[in-house]
Structure 1
Amino acid sequence: MSPKQQRGEATVELLLDAALRVYAESGEQGLTVTAITKASGVSLGSLYHHFGSINGLTDALMHRWLGRLLGELAAALQQTRTARSGIRALVRTYLAFVREHHDAALLLHSPLADRRGMAHGKELRDAQEARLSPFALWIEPRVTSGELAALPLGLIESLVMGPVIGVARRWLSGIDDVDLDEAMRILPERIWRSVAGE
């Protein structure tokens, strides 16, 4: 990699890290070009050069953290032998990620992410396809073997991830009726019952 490419990558990292800090401190309303360039020390021209717009930067930031989350989930699945242990690993890994990367999880579960996801859902899914395919590859043989219920992939994904995302949102919003350790203990078995084969 040339020095110019290294500088470009370093600038991208500075901007992404600053954007996440600004979002965590000021919310969506504070996520402005001015705030990000000030927090990063990077020029306005560099921001536009690398991302094209504030939306481009925000999308890149969400892609970055969604990619990390999906990578951790896929790695956790690879270490399991049964569908039941896989469900347990998915739930625990997701909630551990939310706890460990609070600011990024806050962004990924935000109204901003929801709006971007609804407006560009197919593009976002296509961009993450390489990371999503391990889930399909893990689920399909377990449906075929009868270990998982014979349901469409999208329904299995919703039954597994829906409750986990709901708990994450409650915890991130500061509602104190959710304890992540308790959720990690209780949710895996409850979710397993909803997707277990006959």
Structure 2
Amino acid sequence: MGRKPGFTDEQVFVWLSEHLAQAPGVTVQQVSKGTGVSVGSLYHRYGSMEGLLAEAWIWAQDHFSRLIVPLLKADGERAATRAALEVLNFVNANKAAATLLFLVPERYLVRPGLDLSIMDRVAEARDLLASSISDFASRINHIAETVELAVLQLPASLAEKYLPHGTIPAQAELYVRKTCRMILSNPLEIEEVEHA
């Protein structure tokens, strides 16, 4: 069987998201067979299976952050609600990236022992989203955990229900809109979060 002479990261990551949605583990040989990319090409590009998985997480997180971070630069509860609704749109429009972020546990993708340069990129991606949430929360006088619950965790729970093959129904927007507003109108107190 001939192997693809060239391939894109996205082709590999999309296949990986579909596979990991069905089974928690994967080998380089399975990726090679599933994508038609030689084992040697995969090792050449990603260095290791752990490197490939981490690059898939970074790719998904970058797609997500490019959408959500700009929305969190606005102020007010309406901006938070808009961001939460965009998470739903992201899930429906970017199923592969959403599957890697919301359905596959991060610990399967980002494992100990990664190359330091990859770990730095993972940390940067995590920090970008966390600092955006924290900055937004501080501007609207909430704690970051409340904003994360309203903007990310609520729609992410819907993603877990419908991914990898389903589409979040349009009426879910109404539930997200109402619940996001309710969470932000009745924020957790810092003491409640610390003792939870």
Normalised by the length of structure 1, the TM-score is 0.70
Kindly state the Cα deviation for residue 130 of structure 1 after the two structures are TM-superposed. 3.0
Give yes or no for contact 1:77–1:89 (8 Å, CA) kept in 2: no
The answer to which structure, 1 or 2, has the higher relative contact order (CA under 8 A, 6+ apart) is 2
Question: Which of 162, 165, 180 is the aligned partner of 1:191?
Answer: 180
| Equivalent-residue separation in structure 2 for 1:107 and 1:34 (angstroms) | 20
Q: What are the superposed Cα offsets for residues 65-85 of structure 1, whole Å, 9 maximum, x if unpaired?
A: 11111210112334xx54221
What SS class does the counterpart of residue 151 from structure 2 fall into? helix
Within 5 Å, give how 1:25-174 maps onto structure 2.
27-28=22-23, 31-78=26-73, 81-116=74-109, 124-143=122-141, 151-172=142-163
Count of aligned residue pairs for this structure pair:
177
Normalised by the length of structure 2, the TM-score is 0.70
Q: What are the superposed Cα offsets for residues 135-163 of structure 1, whole Å, 9 maximum, x if unpaired?
A: 322221211xxxxxxx5323431343222
* Cα 1:173–1:16 shift into 2, 3 Å: closer
Give yes or no for contact 2:91–2:159 (8 Å, CA) kept in 1: yes
| Equivalent-residue separation in structure 2 for 1:127 and 1:12 (angstroms) | 27
In structure 1, the gaps of 5 or more residues are: 1-10, 144-150
| Equivalent-residue separation in structure 2 for 1:29 and 1:131 (angstroms) | 25
Kindly state the Cα deviation for residue 12 of structure 1 after the two structures are TM-superposed. 9.3
**Does 2:11 align with 1:17?**
yes
Higher helix proportion, which one? 1
- What root-mean-square deviation, in Å, do the aligned CA atoms of Structure 1 and Structure 2 show? 3.5
In structure 2, the gaps of 5 or more residues are: 114-118, 188-196
* Cα 1:28–1:60 shift into 2, 3 Å: farther
Moved more, 18-27 or 164-173: 18-27
Q: What are the superposed Cα offsets for residues 42-86 of structure 1, whole Å, 9 maximum, x if unpaired?
A: 4423322332211210111111111111210112334xx542211
Moved more, 95-104 or 40-49: 40-49
